[in-house]
A and B are shown apart, each in its own frame.
Chain A
Amino acid sequence: MPPKNNKGGAKAKETSEAKQDNDNSKSQTVFERAQAAYDLTRPPYDKEREELGGLHKLSTVEKTAYASWFCTAPDELNFLSKKAQKELWKQVNETNRPLRRGQIDQPKRDQWGKDRLGRNIGDYTVLQYERRIEKQARLTGLKALGRSFASKRLYASRGLVDSSTGEKYTLTEEDIQAERDRRMEMAALKKDLYGEKMGPYSTDPEWDDVVPVPQMEPEGALSAIAYPEDYAESMSYLRAVMAANEHSPRCLRLTEHIISMNPAHYTVWLYRFANIQHLDMPLLDEIQWLNGVALDFLKNYQIWHHRQLLVDHYHPIIAGSPDEVKRFAKSERAFVMAMFAEDAKNYHVWSYRQYLTRKLGLWENEEHGELDSIEGMIDDDVRNNSAWSHRFFLVFSNPRYANPDSQATEADPGVPADIVDREVAYAQAKIQLAPQNQSPWNYLRGVLVKGGRALGSVKGFAEQYVQNLGDVEKEEVLSSHALELLADIYEEAGDKGEGGLVLAEAGREVGSHTLRVLGVEAEVSEGG
Chain B
Amino acid sequence: MELQKARHVQYFQRCYTTVLPSLYTSMDSNRLLLGYFTLAGLDLLSSPSSASASANAGSAPAPPQSLVPAADRTRLRDWVLGQQHRNGGFCGSPGHVQPDTVKRGWNEAVPYPAVNDTENVSLPGTYFALLTLGLVANEDADSVATAFRGVNRIGTLRWLKRLQRPDGSFGEVVNADGSISGGRDMRYCYMAATIRWVLRGNEVGKDLDIDVDGMVQHIRKSQAYDGGFAESHMGESQAGYAYCAVAALSMLDLAAADAGKPNRYLQAGISNTAAMIRWLVSRQIVYTGIEEGDSDEEEEEEEEEGKDDTPAVPTSEMASLSVTGTVLGGFNGRPNKVADTCYAWWVAGALHVLSDALPEVASLDRASGREFLLQKTQSAYGGFGKDAGSPPDLFHSYLGLAALATMAGEKTEEGLGLFDVRLCLGKEAASRVDRARQFWAPASESDTADA
Nearest neighbor of B106 in chain A, beta-carbon distance: A209
Chain B 87-122 per-residue mask, 1 if CB under 8 angstroms from chain A, else 0: 000001011111100111111010000110101101
Among A52-60, A120-128, A177-185, A517-525, the stretch in contact with B? A517-525
Could you tell me the distance in whole angstroms from the C-beta of B114 to the nearest C-beta in chain A?
Answer: 4
In the complex, are the beta carbons of B304 and A528 less than 8 A apart?
A: yes
Chain A 277-319 per-residue mask, 1 if CB under 8 angstroms from chain B, else 0: 0000000000000000000010001001100010000000000
Residues of B within 8 A of A478 (CB): 312-313
Task: Pick the contact of B336: A227, A439, A445 (CB < 8 A).
Answer: A439
Chain B 12-31 per-residue mask, 1 if CB under 8 angstroms from chain A, else 0: 00011001111011111111
Nearest neighbor of B241 in chain A, beta-carbon distance: A347
How many chain A residues have a CB neighbour from B under 8 Å? 109
Residues of B within 8 A of A243 (CB): 98-99, 102, 114-115, 117
Residues of B within 8 A of A261 (CB): 25-26
Given the known A-B contacts A270-B173, A351-B183, are A519 and B22 also in contact in the complex, defined by CB atoms under 8 Å? no
Residues of B within 8 A of A350 (CB): 235-236
In the complex, are the beta carbons of B322 and A516 less than 8 A apart?
A: yes
Task: Pick the contact of B335: A305, A309, A385 (CB < 8 A).
Answer: A385
Given the known A-B contacts A434-B310, A510-B281, are A215 and B95 also in contact in the complex, defined by CB atoms under 8 Å? yes
Residues of B within 8 A of A242 (CB): 98, 115, 117
Which chain A residues numbered 351 to 377 have a C-beta less than 8 Å away from chain B? 351, 354
Chain A 227-271 per-residue mask, 1 if CB under 8 angstroms from chain B, else 0: 110010001000110111100000000000000011111110010
Residues of A within 8 A of B109 (CB): 211
Residues of B within 8 A of A203 (CB): none
In the complex, are the beta carbons of A392 and B119 less than 8 A apart?
A: no
Given the known A-B contacts A211-B104, A224-B20, A243-B99, are A408 and B224 also in contact in the complex, defined by CB atoms under 8 Å? yes
In the complex, are the beta carbons of B82 and A154 less than 8 A apart?
A: no
Residues of A within 8 A of B287 (CB): 522
Residues of A within 8 A of B290 (CB): 526
In the complex, are the beta carbons of A520 and B318 less than 8 A apart?
A: yes
In the complex, are the beta carbons of A409 and B363 less than 8 A apart?
A: no
In the complex, are the beta carbons of A347 and B20 less than 8 A apart?
A: no
Residues of A within 8 A of B82 (CB): 216-217
**Does B252 reach chain A (CB closer than 8 Å)?**
no
CA distance A305 to B173 in the complex (A): 12
In the complex, are the beta carbons of A437 and B308 less than 8 A apart?
A: yes
Given the known A-B contacts A209-B106, A223-B15, A265-B28, are A228 and B281 also in contact in the complex, defined by CB atoms under 8 Å? no
Task: Pick the contact of B22: A154, A225, A343 (CB < 8 A).
Answer: A225
In the complex, are the beta carbons of A510 and B301 less than 8 A apart?
A: no
Which chain A residues numbered 183 to 227 have a C-beta less than 8 Å away from chain B? 208-211, 213, 215-218, 221-227
Nearest neighbor of B321 in chain A, beta-carbon distance: A519
Residues of A within 8 A of B169 (CB): none
In the complex, are the beta carbons of A347 and B238 less than 8 A apart?
A: yes
**Does A511 reach chain B (CB closer than 8 Å)?**
yes
**Does B282 reach chain A (CB closer than 8 Å)?**
yes
Residues of A within 8 A of B327 (CB): 515, 519
**Does A443 reach chain B (CB closer than 8 Å)?**
yes
Task: Pick the contact of A211: B98, B103, B308, B335 (CB < 8 A).
Answer: B103
**Does A410 reach chain B (CB closer than 8 Å)?**
yes
Among B140-148, B225-233, B434-442, the stretch in contact with A? B225-233
Nearest neighbor of B319 in chain A, beta-carbon distance: A516
Residues of B within 8 A of A443 (CB): 225-226
CA distance A130 to B257 in the complex (A): 79
In the complex, are the beta carbons of A210 and B104 less than 8 A apart?
A: yes
CA distance A442 to B236 in the complex (A): 12
**Does A382 reach chain B (CB closer than 8 Å)?**
yes
Residues of B within 8 A of A392 (CB): 225, 234
CA distance A511 to B361 in the complex (A): 11
In the complex, are the beta carbons of B231 and A442 less than 8 A apart?
A: no
Could you tell me the distance in whole angstroms from the C-beta of A376 to the nearest C-beta in chain B?
Answer: 12
**Does A35 reach chain B (CB closer than 8 Å)?**
no
**Does B66 reach chain A (CB closer than 8 Å)?**
no
**Does B271 reach chain A (CB closer than 8 Å)?**
yes
In the complex, are the beta carbons of A436 and B305 less than 8 A apart?
A: no
Given the known A-B contacts A244-B115, A262-B26, are A515 and B236 also in contact in the complex, defined by CB atoms under 8 Å? no
In the complex, are the beta carbons of A521 and B26 less than 8 A apart?
A: no
**Does B338 reach chain A (CB closer than 8 Å)?**
yes
Residues of B within 8 A of A476 (CB): 314-315
Which chain B residues numbered 253 to 287 have a C-beta less than 8 Å away from chain A? 271-272, 275, 278-279, 281-282, 284-287
**Does A477 reach chain B (CB closer than 8 Å)?**
yes
Could you tell me the distance in whole angstroms from the C-beta of A394 to the nearest C-beta in chain B?
Answer: 10
In the complex, are the beta carbons of A345 and B92 less than 8 A apart?
A: no
CA distance A450 to B31 in the complex (A): 44
**Does B431 reach chain A (CB closer than 8 Å)?**
no
How many chain B residues have a CB neighbour from A under 8 Å? 108
CA distance A452 to B302 in the complex (A): 34
Which chain B residues numbered 59 to 77 have a C-beta less than 8 Å away from chain A? 75-76
CA distance A41 to B338 in the complex (A): 83
Nearest neighbor of B368 in chain A, beta-carbon distance: A515
Nearest neighbor of B171 in chain A, beta-carbon distance: A305
Which chain B residues numbered 296 to 349 have a C-beta less than 8 Å away from chain A? 299, 301-302, 304-308, 310, 312-315, 317-319, 321-323, 327, 329, 334-338
CA distance A350 to B237 in the complex (A): 12
CA distance A226 to B302 in the complex (A): 34
Given the known A-B contacts A223-B34, A385-B334, are A436 and B310 also in contact in the complex, defined by CB atoms under 8 Å? yes
In the complex, are the beta carbons of A520 and B271 less than 8 A apart?
A: no
In the complex, are the beta carbons of A522 and B307 less than 8 A apart?
A: no
In the complex, are the beta carbons of A393 and B234 less than 8 A apart?
A: yes
**Does A25 reach chain B (CB closer than 8 Å)?**
no
In the complex, are the beta carbons of A519 and B225 less than 8 A apart?
A: no
**Does A64 reach chain B (CB closer than 8 Å)?**
no
Residues of A within 8 A of B96 (CB): 266-267
In the complex, are the beta carbons of B288 and A383 less than 8 A apart?
A: no
**Does B46 reach chain A (CB closer than 8 Å)?**
no
Given the known A-B contacts A408-B234, A433-B307, are A154 and B107 also in contact in the complex, defined by CB atoms under 8 Å? yes
Could you tell me the distance in whole angstroms from the C-beta of B160 to the nearest C-beta in chain A?
Answer: 17
CA distance A443 to B225 in the complex (A): 7
In the complex, are the beta carbons of B98 and A386 less than 8 A apart?
A: no
CA distance A439 to B95 in the complex (A): 43
**Does A449 reach chain B (CB closer than 8 Å)?**
yes
In the complex, are the beta carbons of B31 and A223 less than 8 A apart?
A: yes
Residues of A within 8 A of B363 (CB): 510-511
Given the known A-B contacts A409-B223, A445-B225, A512-B323, are A226 and B336 also in contact in the complex, defined by CB atoms under 8 Å? no
In the complex, are the beta carbons of A227 and B22 less than 8 A apart?
A: yes
CA distance A385 to B333 in the complex (A): 11
**Does A325 reach chain B (CB closer than 8 Å)?**
no
Could you tell me the distance in whole angstroms from the C-beta of A474 to the nearest C-beta in chain B?
Answer: 10
Could you tell me the distance in whole angstroms from the C-beta of B40 to the nearest C-beta in chain A?
Answer: 12
Task: Pick the contact of A408: B30, B223, B308, B322 (CB < 8 A).
Answer: B223
Residues of A within 8 A of B25 (CB): 225, 227-228, 231, 261-262
In the complex, are the beta carbons of A223 and B98 less than 8 A apart?
A: no
**Does B365 reach chain A (CB closer than 8 Å)?**
yes
In the complex, are the beta carbons of B38 and A222 less than 8 A apart?
A: yes
Chain A 395-416 per-residue mask, 1 if CB under 8 angstroms from chain B, else 0: 0110000000101111000000
CA distance A383 to B304 in the complex (A): 10
In the complex, are the beta carbons of A450 and B312 less than 8 A apart?
A: no
Could you tell me the distance in whole angstroms from the C-beta of A294 to the nearest C-beta in chain B?
Answer: 14
Could you tell me the distance in whole angstroms from the C-beta of A96 to the nearest C-beta in chain B?
Answer: 68
CA distance A8 to B427 in the complex (A): 77
Residues of A within 8 A of B16 (CB): 222
CA distance A157 to B107 in the complex (A): 11
**Does A76 reach chain B (CB closer than 8 Å)?**
no
A-B contact pairs, 11 of them (CB 8 A): A222-B35, A225-B19, A264-B30, A266-B122, A385-B334, A407-B221, A409-B275, A450-B225, A477-B318, A518-B285, A519-B286
Known: A153-B106, A222-B79, A515-B285. 17 other contacts (CB 8 A): A222-B31, A223-B35, A225-B27, A225-B28, A228-B22, A264-B29, A265-B28, A266-B182, A350-B235, A351-B235, A383-B306, A408-B234, A442-B227, A449-B225, A511-B363, A515-B368, A524-B310
